[in-house]
Amino acid sequence: MRVVCLSGGVGGAKLAAGLHDVLAPGELTVIGNVGDDLEILGLHVSPDLDSVLYTLAGLNDTERGWGREGETWEALESARSWGGEGWFMLGDRDIGLHLVRSQALRRGETLSGVTGRLIRSAGLKTRLLPATDDRLRTQLVTPAGTFPFQEWFVARRHEDEVDALRYDGADVSRPAPGVIGAIEDADAIVIAPSNPFVSIHPILSVPGIREAIERRRVRCVAVSPLIGGHAVRGPVDRMMRRLLGGTTPALVTMCYKGLLDALVIDAADETAETDGAVVVTDTLMLDRESARRLAQTTLEAAMETPS
């Protein structure tokens, strides 16, 4: 069974890891967000792709919730002491990966090419494809001005309310090699419980990707990032309230208009307003086992024959 999963960073990576575990080797393709990418200290950083890579490989720090386990911060401290930019958290182990990627890109390799090499170096059979090899950058329009994603999220601690989003470069971007084929060949499409605005919409803004999902002849199922109307982590609930006026499952479905055959929601949202088919389960992924359970339920919802 071939499955495509659209994913952002940490939240998406947890479900992707569950899918990776319950599917046979090579059956999963993850399409990752690059709208959060940044160039800093001469390095090209792809935080969402790396969250997926680290989580699939079991290298992620589950306590901090992002980055690598056993991380140290010597290089960043040194860079700061030399007057370098120090606001974006880069651990020593993490930097090793960014060095390899940055060198490859500088030599003319594509982001999808180097990402493929990295995932194979980790011994993984799952495919991880950036949505595009082209430059696509999410910008947040706020009352205090317009900021690139990481400046808003990290430097300004996502305190500014978001009035609109822009995906700069999306209109002229092309899907990375393999992305459209993977969607067309999939037996099921899954949208991870990632932030719709800053993780999934940037992927869908690459011309051709949304259209390929709209043309599907298989089911597409999303997992809601909300539990009891609240984000498990991050600003999705605040963004939904400001941009859509609430945090119900119906509004999550609205984020993916025309793309969903079912939405997987948490039992805590069962009584809230829904729109279309929903599957109710426990969606909190506390560990790899609960991620596998949610992945299994999501796949079952994706394989159901529509009534």
Query: Nearest approach, Cβ of 162 to ligand GDP (angstroms)?
Result: 13
Shortest Å distance, C-beta 48 to ligand GDP? 5
Phi, psi of 197 (to 5 degrees): -70, -40
Interface with ligand GDP, residue 194, by CB under 6 A: yes
CB 67 within 8 A of CB 60: yes
Residue nearest ligand GDP, Cβ-based: 11
| Cβ(60)–Cβ(68) below 8 Å | yes
Judged by beta carbon distances under 5 to 8 A according to partner kind, the member of ligand GDP, Ca ion, none in contact with residue 236 is ligand GDP
**The entry of ligand GDP, Ca ion, none that residue 225 binds, CB within 5 to 8 Å by partner kind:** ligand GDP
Rounded CA-CA distance 38/87 in Å is 12
In the complex, the smallest distance separating the C-beta of residue 232 from ligand GDP, rounded to whole angstroms, is: 4
Q: Kindly state whether residue 51 participates in binding ligand GDP, applying the rule CB under 6 A.
A: yes
Judged by CB, which is closer to Ca ion: 48, or 133? 48
| Least distance in angstroms from the C-beta of 306 to Ca ion | 32
R_g (Cα) of the chain, nearest Å: 18
The CA distance from 189 to 210, in Å, is: 12
Q: In terms of Cα–Cα distance, which of 224, 216, 231 is closest to 249? A: 224
CA distances from 9 to 46, 94, 248, 281 (A): 10, 15, 22, 22
Q: Where does residue 244 rank: exposed (0-12), middle (13-18), buried (19+ CB within 10 A)?
A: middle
Q: Does 140 bind ligand GDP (CB under 6 A)?
A: no
Q: Which residues contact 275 (CB under 8 A, 6 or more apart)?
A: 249, 250, 253, 254
Report d(CA 97, CA 69) in Å as an integer: 14
The pattern of x and - marking residues 7 through 36 that bind ligand GDP according to CB under 6 A reads xxxxxx-x----------------------
Question: Near ligand GDP by CB under 6 A, which window of 56-64, 124-132, 255-263, 280-288?
Answer: 280-288
| Closer Cβ to ligand GDP, 225 or 249, answer by number | 225
Q: Map the footprint of ligand GDP across residues 224-263, applying CB under 6 A.
A: 224-225, 227, 231-234, 236
Q: How many residues bind ligand GDP (CB under 6 A)?
A: 26
Q: Which two tokens stand for residue 99?
A: 């060095």
Q: Which is nearer to Ca ion, 8 or 130 (CB)?
A: 8
9/116 with CB nearer Ca ion = 9
Contact of 16 with 55, CB cutoff 8 Å: yes
When asked if residue 97 is in the footprint of ligand GDP (CB under 6 A), the reply is: no
Binding site residues, Ca ion, CB under 5 A: 8-9, 36, 48
Interface residues with ligand GDP (CB under 6 A)?
Answer: 7-12, 14, 48, 51, 192-195, 199, 223-225, 227, 231-234, 236, 283-285
